[in-house]
Structure 1
């Protein structure tokens, strides 16, 4: 059985190690050191992980993450690469695959596509691309769908599609490989290879709410 989360974990660890602790990422305001600390806190400190998405515990989460960021960078990568500890929720059967396939794919691309000389999109194995597509619906609705001012149709190259966002007279169609659509849904659209089609006013309204591929 494929373990896509494990494969993406190892790739992300390799990218972090190669980039060094002070490289930029696509996570606003975070260096690679910050990202590595976030990854370790997320699966090893459940008391702090609850504030990752904001809320009353966000300050505590930030203090814990900052303390981890002060550790040696190589230690952070080692902890992340070794996987969740036995008592972590992510150590439950199937939890890592379900929760982290997209998480680690996005963060790997956060490292690979950042900076002035980003790496081009990599070919994603067919099985992993299918896993990303199957998991796209929820984050697309919770992330892109909530932020978009227009109806979105996220289109797989094989013709499958997913509609999210508010109903209205205009729809913007975003077409591309599943990994590129995942990155768009999480606000990384400026560094993706996607086709964007729709009425010009709807596309411009969307561009103000969510990053789209940079114009040629």
Structure 2
């Protein structure tokens, strides 16, 4: 089995090493060191991760993540590169592929596309196929706040009706699977996606908060 999630993790680490600790990312308020700390917490600190869903623990998560981010940067990136500890189910290849592929693809692009000289990567057909399959599983959740219907079209991969219209008509999103993933996960300003539909419907979609947050 090709481990695309593992490949994206390692490529991200290579770019974190190359760029250093203080470069911008697409995650608001986070530099590269903060994004690396987020991954370390996700991999190995479930006690802190609760702060993402339990409001009164959010402050503890923020403080500890900042402490981790302010440590030795080379060691921090090495912790990301090593991956989840053995007790975490995400250390198992099949679980890792399902739970981490989109996570690491998006965060890799968060780093790359925040740099002033970024250009799109050329993704393999196999990776594009995996991203398309993952997006089809999660698209309804990602677009749940849109008042428009959503149809995703990935040339060469197919189409997927992600959401029925609510207050507005349907908007068609066309692009490569990786670009559609980025749009669905809220990276709309950098995703190379074409929108088709009524102008009011497109405006409604562009004003919606997409992704998990």
For the 8 Å contact 2:132–2:157, the answer to whether it is kept is no
Distance (whole Å) between structure 1 residues aligned to residue 54 and residue 38 of structure 2: 14
1:178-189 correspondence to structure 2 within 5 Å:
178-189=177-188
Aligned to 1:147: 145
* Aligned partner of residue 173 in structure 1, secondary structure: strand
Q: Give the superposition deviation at 1:159.
A: 6.0
**Higher mean displacement: 155-164 or 172-181:** 155-164
Aligned to 1:30: 30
Choose which of 156, 159, 162 in structure 2 pairs with 1:161.
Answer: 159
TM-score, reference length from structure 2: 0.91
Gaps of 5+ in 2: none
Question: RMSD between aligned alpha carbons?
Answer: 1.7
Aligned to 2:201: 202
Aligned to 1:120: 119
For the 8 Å contact 2:129–2:157, the answer to whether it is kept is no
Relative to structure 1, is the Cα distance of residues 104 and 159 closer, same or farther in structure 2, using a 3 angstrom cutoff? Answer: closer
Distance (whole Å) between structure 1 residues aligned to residue 209 and residue 155 of structure 2: 21
Gaps of 5+ in 1: 212-216
* Aligned partner of residue 111 in structure 1, secondary structure: helix
Relative to structure 1, is the Cα distance of residues 65 and 85 closer, same or farther in structure 2, using a 3 angstrom cutoff? Answer: same
Q: Give the superposition deviation at 1:193.
A: 1.2
Distance (whole Å) between structure 2 residues aligned to residue 122 and residue 91 of structure 1: 27
**Higher mean displacement: 49-58 or 97-106:** 49-58
Q: How many residues align?
A: 209
* Aligned partner of residue 51 in structure 1, secondary structure: helix
Relative to structure 1, is the Cα distance of residues 74 and 98 closer, same or farther in structure 2, using a 3 angstrom cutoff? Answer: same
Distance (whole Å) between structure 2 residues aligned to residue 176 and residue 83 of structure 1: 31
Aligned to 1:50: 50
Distance (whole Å) between structure 1 residues aligned to residue 189 and residue 2 of structure 2: 30
Aligned to 1:105: 105
For the 8 Å contact 1:132–1:179, the answer to whether it is kept is yes
Relative to structure 1, is the Cα distance of residues 13 and 30 closer, same or farther in structure 2, using a 3 angstrom cutoff? Answer: same
Aligned to 2:83: 83
* CA offsets 1:45-99 (integer angstroms, 9 cap, x no match): 1111233356443222222211211211111100010111111231235111111
1:129 has 2:128 as partner? yes
TM-score, reference length from structure 1: 0.90
Relative to structure 1, is the Cα distance of residues 20 and 114 closer, same or farther in structure 2, using a 3 angstrom cutoff? Answer: same
Q: Give the superposition deviation at 1:210.
A: 4.8
* Aligned partner of residue 5 in structure 1, secondary structure: helix
For the 8 Å contact 1:139–1:186, the answer to whether it is kept is no
Distance (whole Å) between structure 2 residues aligned to residue 210 and residue 159 of structure 1: 26
* Aligned partner of residue 67 in structure 2, secondary structure: helix
* Aligned partner of residue 167 in structure 1, secondary structure: coil
